A and B are shown apart, each in its own frame.
Chain A
Amino acid sequence: MQNFRDALMAVVTAGNPQANHASSQRAGPRTAAPQSGFAPWKNPSLSPIVRFEGITKRFDDFVAVNDVTLDIYEKEFFALLGPSGCGKSTLLRMLAGFERPTQGKTIVAGQDITDLPPYQRPVNMMFQSYALFPHMTVEGNIGFGLRQEGMPKNKIAERVDEAMSMLELRQFAKRKPNQLSGGQQQRVALARAIAKKPRIVLLDEPLGALDKKLRQQAQFELMRIQETTGTTFIIVTHDQEEAMTVASRIAVMEKGVLVQVATPGDIYENPKTRYIAGFIGDVNIFEGTVAAIGDGCIEINAKDGYQFKTRSSEPVTVGQQVWLALRPEKIRIAHEQPASAINAIPGKVEDIGYLGSISHYHVRTAPGERITALRANAAHTVERPISWEDSVWLDWPVDAGVVLTG
């Protein structure tokens, strides 16, 4: 029993086998960032390739972007994440030059480009609608940017061919955009954005129009292209799974404000606010006040009468209002009462969501709280299966939760 639980915890924290779940960790060498050591944001001697300095954008009396300061480093795959209307697209469009900030500066590679028009900026963008030129062939579209530079014809053909073969578009070279499928159009749009070999490629919800299966393929393709070209990619997305999959760092935005900038792992494990905890993955949140502080742990009196003990690095004072955030996969669910009385709640199973490899259990506690726990559907479970209306116990270790103050 104890072995099973440890195994589950190991699975959850190290590398998750749950294919379609939000917490699925990233594959590929760079995404295991801490190991490979790709963390330029930790290196004070490096200067960022993009720096937003106190950027504010107002449309009439609506503040789309509010005092954003952000550094993005060379070769990063950086994601701007947030719900629609949070200002992420506006921030990207200011970097491309389509919008001008009301206040603040945009600096690219040390040069202030705040006042440069879009056609003089060293960035290229892949548009949400793809924005392919309907009257030009695939070749014509990809070569458009190079022609603006006045590059010799044979050189253009070479570069277009390079981009086309990188994205497997050669066979469509003479086709017009309306003769391509959605996935092919998406690849043309990407090829066009990288053909000029810009230092920074901007992607505005680049995969939003694709269906789920194609989207996952395309995410890995984006990562492959980003790695082979060694370009800095900045992606705007509202899909947290997509951001987790592709990005080296994620900036979460809410109502025009940057809420947290961190690696996907950090954001998942140590969300700064309830908003982020809820936005990325599933989470159970208990409201309460700090009852006691000591030896790296704090005790929380939850609103509904429970007492929790949890490890916390957050500076808090006794009596302060806090929230305890618990990921479903960190909560153990069992029929028997656990040995330790710490962080243990009884309840009744109300709903079970069967997702193949895992199941979600929605448990109603005595005070009426609804808690979600998650358990892998291992084939050789020795335990009796948990079923509807079963009385169960939920418990978790002191290091499972995160204490939030906002």
Chain B
Amino acid sequence: MSAKANGLGRWYVIAAPYLWLLIFFLIPFFIVFKLSLSDVATAIPPYTPTFSWSEGIGKFISQLDFENYTFIFGDPLYVNAYLSSLKIALISTFLTLLVAYPMAYGMARAPKSWQPTLMMLVILPFWTSFLIRIYAWIAILKPEGFLSIFLIKLGIISEPLQIMNTTTAVYIGIVYSYLPFMILPLYASLEKINPSLLEAAQDLGSRPWRAFWQVTFPLSLPGVFAGCLLVFIPAVGEFVIPDLLGGSDTLMIGKTLWNEFFNNRDWPLASAVAVLLLLVLIIPIVIFQRQQEKVREAGR
């Protein structure tokens, strides 16, 4: 509120990032929407109609139609891709939570002097390339990869594992890449819980396991919620993981969009796919934004 006193300068500060995001983040969505109503063409750019002042806006609009959408809804391939993306994202979000919770819990209860180091060890993989981390799993999961070799040597299995190019590999890839996004908010909310609350619960006769479900877990729910959103939303539109680890039967919408755009060069159809993907995600994104805003307000 302090800067309110000088009006003009304030607007300069706001305007730079505001205009930037308007031009490069918000307006592009309208262009995507417009293009999703166009038709594919063998031209540069590869779609029609292109807007020109000479022909006027009326003619331009008259050439737009919902053909791409009817096409998408008419072809089970696309509908299945959406549904399977949601399913894969949902399952892998849950799996990530299962892996992340004990880790975050252990970190929050670790000796105080250890916590910064543990935090850094969680963040470090997040700073290393996504692509490289997925690549590392190919060598592990492929039939003649490390995992098969290891398990055969232990005598647990006799035949090489068939994980690579399956949906299982996609689950592993998503859990692995998004683990830090889940651990960090979980840790933040678990670390805030006053340990004397648990002591009080136990003092009042609650066994440790019940104390956990009645005290710790409910108090960590904001972290669980934030972590799940951070994993679920980008996972729905994931491209690299299903492309590199998943097989031809792993349908994900991000991959479909990529194929329409790069392989079929059908920009209007790719745009329609993007618009529908955005519609699926708009509610979780708005919830996420509200939540961040709340955290920000609480921090004041």
Contact = CB atoms under 8 A, between A and B. Distances in A.
Interface in A114-146: 117-118
Interface residues of B, number: 5
B16 interface: no
Nearest to A117: B5
B4 interface: yes
Nearest to B4: A100
A97 B6 CA distance: 11
Interface string B1-43: 1101110000000000000000000000000000000000000
Nearest to B2: A98
Contacts of B2: 98, 118
B256 to A, nearest CB: 49
10 contacts: A97-B5, A98-B1, A98-B2, A99-B1, A100-B4, A100-B5, A117-B5, A117-B6, A118-B2, A118-B5
Contacts of A97: 5
Contacts of A100: 4-5
A343 B74 CA distance: 98
Interface string A77-98: 0000000000000000000011
Interface residues of A, number: 6
Chain A binding surface SS class: loop
Nearest to B6: A117
Contacts of B1: 98-99
A58 B22 CA distance: 33
B13 to A, nearest CB: 15
Contacts of A118: 2, 5
Interface in B59-109: none
A202 to B, nearest CB: 15
Nearest to A118: B5
A99 B4 CA distance: 9
A59 to B, nearest CB: 10
Chain B binding surface SS class: helix
Interface string A195-227: 000000000000000000000000000000000
Contacts of B5: 97, 100, 117-118
What are the nearest 7 A-B pairs in CB distance? A117-B5, A98-B2, A117-B6, A97-B5, A118-B5, A100-B5, A99-B1
* Residue among B1, B2, B5, B6 facing the most chain A CB atoms (10 A cut-off): B5
A89 to B, nearest CB: 14
B4 to A, nearest CB: 7
A100 B4 CA distance: 9
B124 to A, nearest CB: 29
A127 to B, nearest CB: 13
A170 B87 CA distance: 69
A117 B6 CA distance: 7
A117 B7 CA distance: 10
Interface in A97-121: 97-100, 117-118
Contacts of A117: 5-6
Given A97-B5, A117-B6, 8 more contacts: A98-B1, A98-B2, A99-B1, A100-B4, A100-B5, A117-B5, A118-B2, A118-B5
Contacts of A98: 1-2
B37 to A, nearest CB: 44
A97 B3 CA distance: 11
Nearest to A97: B5
B57 to A, nearest CB: 43
A128 to B, nearest CB: 16
B282 to A, nearest CB: 30
A99 B2 CA distance: 7
Contacts of B6: 117
A97 B5 CA distance: 8
A70 B131 CA distance: 68
Nearest to B3: A117
Nearest to B5: A117
Contacts of A99: 1
A117 B4 CA distance: 9
A260 to B, nearest CB: 30
A117 B9 CA distance: 13
A293 B80 CA distance: 95
A120 to B, nearest CB: 10
A97 B1 CA distance: 11
Contacts of B4: 100
A280 B5 CA distance: 37
Nearest to A120: B5
B298 to A, nearest CB: 19
B257 to A, nearest CB: 45
B260 to A, nearest CB: 50
A52 B146 CA distance: 79
A72 B2 CA distance: 25
A117 B5 CA distance: 6
A82 B116 CA distance: 44
B167 to A, nearest CB: 53
A118 B1 CA distance: 12
A182 B1 CA distance: 28
A99 B3 CA distance: 10
A125 to B, nearest CB: 12
